[in-house]
Amino acid sequence: MGQAESGLEKEVALQNIQELYRKFASECPSGKLHLHEFKKIFCISSSSTEEEHAYMDNLFRSFDTNKDGQIDFMEFVAAVNLVLRGKLTDKLKWSFKVYDRDGNGCLDKQEVRHIIRIIHKIKTPGDSGAREKVEDVCDRIFELVDKNKDCQISLEEFIEGAERDPWVMEQLKLDLGPCEWFMEQQQRKNS
């Protein structure tokens, strides 16, 4: 997630955005980006962790707005715009969509547990107590965010909980900020 308001004000140089568009065109001359190409652009390979693959699968699905198994240029542009310049509420809506694996409009404990496990493993690889920590974090998120106690988190509950509680925001945050993440990906590709 990584949507701290202060980080959103940073500008990404136009040349960096244009480079990303050129990358899309060079990687996808057909104008369609498939999952394996998406992973390649973001340096996810066979040596990447299962968690990194799972997270990228969720990201791809969230960008594929028409659900045709590929990202066209317009979907790509919309995704880049959201990640780099979107407002906190829009990013929270997008994050919710990424986390809602079955697309039913609610997050259940299994979905929250899954994303917390991915985030935790990426942030703290090799942590032997990860399973217990993930369960504790998931339980606390539901305690703080699931207002009507129906064991599901609606989009409204998700946004309200993340905006209200810095701890919840921190637990659901994967990157430091979209601009920093974008720049890091560009540096990884250029090295």
The mean pLDDT value for 123-137 works out to: 74
pLDDT given for residue 78 in this prediction = 81
The mean pLDDT value for 86-102 works out to: 85
What residues form DSSP beta bridges with 71?
33
The mean pLDDT value for 14-36 works out to: 78
CA gap 43, 116 in Å, rounded: 22
Alpha helices for 42-174 (secondary structure H) = 50-63, 73-85, 88-99, 109-123, 130-145, 155-164, 166-171
Topology given in CATH for the domain delimited by 14-190? Recoverin; domain 1 (1.10.238)
Is the pLDDT assigned to residue 173 strictly greater than 70?
Answer: no
**Distance (Å) of CA 12 to CA 9, 91, 173, 185, 189:** 10, 17, 20, 13, 17
Would you kindly state where each structural domain of the chain is located, as residue ranges?
14-190
CA gap 63, 43 in Å, rounded: 18
pLDDT given for residue 129 in this prediction = 64
Range of lowest pLDDT (38-52, 69-83, 108-122, 170-184): 170-184
